[in-house]
Amino acid sequence: MELVDKSVILRKIADLETYESQIAPYAAVTAQAYRDDWKTQRIVERTLQMMIETCVDIANHIVSDKGMRLPTSYADTFTVLREHAVIDAGLSGVLERMTKFRNIVVYQYEGVDAEIVIGILKNHLADFGRFRDAVLSYLKKLQS
């Protein structure tokens, strides 16, 4: 089974890289500064949401195009990629937790914990790059 549309995945990776560059200036924000500024909250939360959703979209394209098992949730999408060695277990776990964070942002706005947001900004922005690199490596293997 051939990858149906590599260009879609590459376009989404370009979007992910754009979002990464847009959120990078906020990586040094403190929890208090985040709590005190609704504009920073909106920019950071929405950008993280878009980044997570872009990763899910990329994952779903791979899952669908390669006929992998149907995920039961956003988080499970990354489990499916792990099962097929597209990403490793560590990255899968981080992305699964990020999808849960995304659900809090989308469905329970009042429950967003500033410490979790700051933790993602300080410790997990590079994981989006790791995901991008893993996907690009997977696409390269498909071409070989």
DSSP string, 48-108: HHHHHHHHHHHHHHHHHHTTPPPPSSHHHHHHHHHHTTSS-HHHHHHHHHHHHHHHHHHH-
User: Using one digit for the tens of pLDDT, what is the confidence trace for 85-133?
Assistant: 999 999 999 999 999 999 888 887 667 889 999 999 999 999 999 999 9
Token pair in block for residue 141: 């293997």
Question: What superfamily in CATH does domain 6-143 come from?
Answer: bsu32300-like (1.20.120.580)
For the chain, domain boundaries: 6-143
Whether 138 and 3 have beta carbons less than 8 Å apart is answered as no
User: Using one digit for the tens of pLDDT, what is the confidence trace for 125-136?
Assistant: 999 999 999 999
Estimate the crossing angle of helix 89-107 against helix 114-123, to 10 degrees.
140
d(CA 13, CA 11): 5
Report the predicted TM-score, pTM, of the whole model to 2 decimal places.
0.92
Q: What is the mean pLDDT of residues 48-74?
A: 95
